[in-house]
Structure 1
Amino acid sequence: NGQHIFFVIKKVSSGNTQYILLSYAPDSYRDDLSFTLFKQLIFILGTVILLSWIPSIWLARYLSRPIVAFEKHVKRIAQEDWDDPVIVDRQDEIGKLGHTIEEMRQKLIQKDETERTLLQNISHDLKTPVMVIRGYTQSIKDGIFPKGDLEQTVEVIEGEAEKLEKKIKDLLYLTKLDYLSKQHPAHSSFLLSNTMLEVVDRIRWSKNELQWNVDLDDEAALEGDPEQWSKLFENVLENQLRYAKSKIDIQMKQEEDQIRIVIRNDGPPIEEHMLSNLYEPFSKGKKGEFGIGLSIVKRILSMHQASIFIENDDLGVRYTIMVPKKRL
């Protein structure tokens, strides 16, 4: 009657007798079987979805809650509101993200405090020579010479102007180094001894009474920026001039894989509590002076993978600079 029948015919034996076994099923059986299996599959899927719904919601909240909190912290940090710490109580990947955000927050706070202190020190350091120049200038206008006569009074103004000029130049140079540290400047090979001699010849005249003992290795070569090293030696030797009593010793020699530069002066020793913050901008020295000379020195050395050690010895103060060697 137009229906399909599925059947199987096979021979079977029972004792000594053989039979023909016919098994058959109408086509509707296949549809009933498929429908039954489909209903069971739907039931199983519904049960799995129902049973997994609650833990899925809990897991989603467990994963998203700290991320939402981190997002709020990052938005507040972007608005420079970084007073509240990022509290993290887990050690997984999300916890590592939280620790990184907290570390960033602490560094931003430190950077902000450093900038505020730097601006305060700059304001204080530049205000003094400006006040002296203005005061002496007004005195000259009024016909008064604080130093006895016009020439000596003008010399004071000129000296304060030179101090002010140097401080401004150092600030600009420090800003320049900050920029260069993020770039990839082209370095060249040069003789470090020649750069040292040029700086010594240029500044030794400012205190002719000092004795200079210079012992340099003429083959000491370096891969770097000659202009930066000239500024470095200038700042170091200016410190030596400020504190030396009678002599300055400079020694430069090559070792196996580096160049050692030792600079000594016979001035008074540095206070122990000052040795740890000599390289901080505007750290106050023995004579009550602020400056950023050694901060510039430290920055240039870091850019050339070199190092410096300042310490007291029996003769006075010793500067030791270690530079990775590069032959021409």
Structure 2
Amino acid sequence: MKTKSLNFRLIISFGVSICFFSAIIFMLSIKAFNSYYYEDIYRTLEENETIIRITDIDDFIKGKNRDIRKIEEKVWVKTNENVLIRKFKDGRSNITEQILLKVEDDIKKQEKDSKRYVMDVEDRQLFYVITKYKISRNDSKKKATDKKYSSIKTSEGSCYYKVSFKWKVEDDTLEKRLFIQICISFLLGIGMMFLVAFYLSRYLTRPLVELESYVGNISNRELNVPIKMSRDDEIGFLANSIEKMRKELLKYDEDQKFKLHAVSHELKTPIMVIKSYLDAIKRGLYPKGNLDASLEVIDEECNRLEKLVYNLLYMQRLDYLDSEIKNREKVNLKEIVQEVIKSYSLQLKQLDMQLNLDDVVIYSNYNQLKVIVENILDNQIRYAKTLIKISLKEDSEKIYLNFFNDGESIEKIEDIFKLFKKGKKGQSGIGLYIVKRILKIYDGKIYARNVENGVWFEIEIEKC
């Protein structure tokens, strides 16, 4: 329902925007047309040359350069005494005396050589252009000898004003037809834009609706449904990212189920042993022959259970330590190895220890490094027959911590660092997994390799 509402809002918003801008374009088009129309009228009225020298008054008045279009022209002469004299006869004309008086008033006020005017006359517009022409010396002399113009005092510096008139066409059918055609064009354009907007909205929202359905499956923990969307645009990239997230969540969910199953199995064994021994002791029976030996088995299983719980809790903490390393400080790795060996002194009494340790200072977390050494050494003690070797070296780039035991070769060496993968004498299959996870935080690596008389575990840690 929300998606349909979004789709509708997209169409409405797009349509309103189209109508708004189309109205603006329409008004600008009308204004541009009117400007062009008026400009054409004025250009018709104007002469090509705004300032010319008059050499023959009669030719000028006859209108030798008169435009062939329907334009009415009249000429005034302005004397040095600022007197306007009409140089035309009052014949048949649409230019009334009132209009002429207004034009003469404009002539007196005009300072430019040419200027455009418009006048409203009884709901009709009259366009006219007043152009000023200067009188040359020759024309001035001719007027002085001509009896016809002897009463007009003109001299060089006097001016003629030619006024070209043109009425706005009364029949505006063509203009209305043009506006109607523009309206029809815009309506067709708006209709086509609506169709395009509808198609685009459907094109954009359809995959989003599909993605919403897929995300709904993920939120309902239905992680087995893959996202199938083959697109090369941003929506396709989003779908690929969501599909990648689905796979990661599915993997995480499967890992959690596997961990829960394995943990319940690992906890079940020591609990069953402890419970069975306690039940036997209550009935006065001693599975190991006497009370002390039976209690010792219970104590071992309790220690095993304690260590298992500790490792499980520590493993859970590692899920939150992958992205950051807390409480980093300078620590001497040699001292950590020696401290762990001392804590395992009882288990190491029957084994030969060979140490080759250099002083290596690393900027890291003390407790995490100690967990690495403890888990590796615990593994070596469990499988060694008579000998354990430990070496600690460094170069300019890496730190090398190696462990050797003379025990049996490992059959599936690639599986020993996987969670809950136990060897022949393994207890939980968590210790080496924790080692690898901690080293991953420090960009470190651990390798195991079989040699002729035992197994080497090699640790490499990048220097910070």
TM-score normalised by structure 1 residue count? 0.88
1:103 and 2:224 matched: no
Corresponding residue for residue 233 of structure 1:
373
For residue 161 of structure 1, report the CA deviation from its aligned partner: 0.6
Corresponding residue for residue 16 of structure 1:
none
Structure 2: tracts of 5 or more residues without a match: 1-120, 133-161
Corresponding residue for residue 321 of structure 1:
459
**Cα distance in 1 between the residues matched to 2:253 and 2:393:** 42
SS of the residue aligned with 1:101?
helix
SS of the residue aligned with 1:84?
coil
Corresponding residue for residue 129 of structure 2:
8
CA RMSD of aligned residues (A): 2.5
Change beyond 3 A, Cα 1:41–1:166: same
Corresponding residue for residue 347 of structure 2:
206
Corresponding residue for residue 292 of structure 2:
151
For residue 25 of structure 1, report the CA deviation from its aligned partner: 3.1
With 234-243 and 55-64 compared, the bigger mean Cα shift is at 55-64
SS of the residue aligned with 2:389?
strand
Matches within 5 A, 1:107-146: 107-146=248-287
**Structure 2 letter corresponding to 1:98:** A
**Per-residue CA distance 1:270-313 (angstroms, 9 max, x = gap):** 11xx3223222211222363321111111111111211111212
Is the 8 Å Cα contact of residues 128 and 163 (structure 2) preserved in structure 1? Answer: no
**Cα distance in 1 between the residues matched to 2:253 and 2:379:** 29
SS of the residue aligned with 1:179?
coil
**Structure 1 letter corresponding to 2:347:** S
SS of the residue aligned with 1:249?
strand
Corresponding residue for residue 80 of structure 1:
221
SS of the residue aligned with 1:317?
strand
Is the 8 Å Cα contact of residues 389 and 403 (structure 2) preserved in structure 1? Answer: yes
With 40-49 and 242-251 compared, the bigger mean Cα shift is at 40-49
**Per-residue CA distance 1:29-68 (angstroms, 9 max, x = gap):** 9x98886665444322211122233343233222211111
For residue 106 of structure 1, report the CA deviation from its aligned partner: 1.5
Structure 1: tracts of 5 or more residues without a match: 12-19
Aligned with residue 299 of structure 1, among 437, 447, 451: 437
**Structure 1 letter corresponding to 2:414:** S
Is the 8 Å Cα contact of residues 264 and 317 (structure 1) preserved in structure 2? Answer: yes
Corresponding residue for residue 427 of structure 2:
289
Change beyond 3 A, Cα 1:49–1:158: same
**Cα distance in 2 between the residues matched to 1:283 and 1:122:** 12
SS of the residue aligned with 2:390?
strand
1:188 and 2:309 matched: no
With 114-123 and 276-285 compared, the bigger mean Cα shift is at 276-285
Corresponding residue for residue 261 of structure 1:
401
Is the 8 Å Cα contact of residues 215 and 252 (structure 1) preserved in structure 2? Answer: yes
For residue 192 of structure 1, report the CA deviation from its aligned partner: 1.1
**Cα distance in 1 between the residues matched to 2:317 and 2:385:** 34
Is the 8 Å Cα contact of residues 422 and 428 (structure 2) preserved in structure 1? Answer: yes
**Cα distance in 1 between the residues matched to 2:403 and 2:375:** 12
Change beyond 3 A, Cα 1:28–1:167: farther
**Cα distance in 2 between the residues matched to 1:266 and 1:126:** 30
Change beyond 3 A, Cα 1:35–1:292: farther
Q: Which has the larger radius of gyration?
A: 2
Is the 8 Å Cα contact of residues 308 and 428 (structure 2) preserved in structure 1? Answer: no
Is the 8 Å Cα contact of residues 5 and 27 (structure 1) preserved in structure 2? Answer: no
**Structure 2 letter corresponding to 1:25:** W
1:47 and 2:149 matched: no
**Cα distance in 1 between the residues matched to 2:183 and 2:334:** 86
**Structure 2 letter corresponding to 1:308:** I
Is the 8 Å Cα contact of residues 260 and 322 (structure 1) preserved in structure 2? Answer: yes
For residue 241 of structure 1, report the CA deviation from its aligned partner: 0.4
Corresponding residue for residue 448 of structure 2:
310
**Cα distance in 2 between the residues matched to 1:249 and 1:23:** 117
**Cα distance in 2 between the residues matched to 1:310 and 1:126:** 28
**Structure 2 letter corresponding to 1:8:** V
Is the 8 Å Cα contact of residues 403 and 456 (structure 2) preserved in structure 1? Answer: yes
Is the 8 Å Cα contact of residues 129 and 161 (structure 1) preserved in structure 2? Answer: yes
Change beyond 3 A, Cα 1:9–1:168: same
**Cα distance in 1 between the residues matched to 2:337 and 2:164:** 111
For residue 197 of structure 1, report the CA deviation from its aligned partner: 1.1
Is the 8 Å Cα contact of residues 247 and 265 (structure 1) preserved in structure 2? Answer: yes
**Cα distance in 2 between the residues matched to 1:320 and 1:101:** 39
**What is the total number of aligned residue pairs between the two structures?**
316
For residue 10 of structure 1, report the CA deviation from its aligned partner: 6.1
For residue 257 of structure 1, report the CA deviation from its aligned partner: 1.0
Is the 8 Å Cα contact of residues 9 and 23 (structure 1) preserved in structure 2? Answer: no
**Structure 2 letter corresponding to 1:258:** K
Corresponding residue for residue 278 of structure 1:
416
**Cα distance in 2 between the residues matched to 1:251 and 1:103:** 42
With 224-233 and 100-109 compared, the bigger mean Cα shift is at 100-109
Structure scoring higher RCO (CA < 8 A, sep ≥ 6) equals 1
SS of the residue aligned with 1:204?
coil
Corresponding residue for residue 388 of structure 2:
248
1:56 and 2:197 matched: yes
Matches within 5 A, 1:164-179: 164-179=305-320
Percent identity, please. 36
**Cα distance in 1 between the residues matched to 2:176 and 2:196:** 31
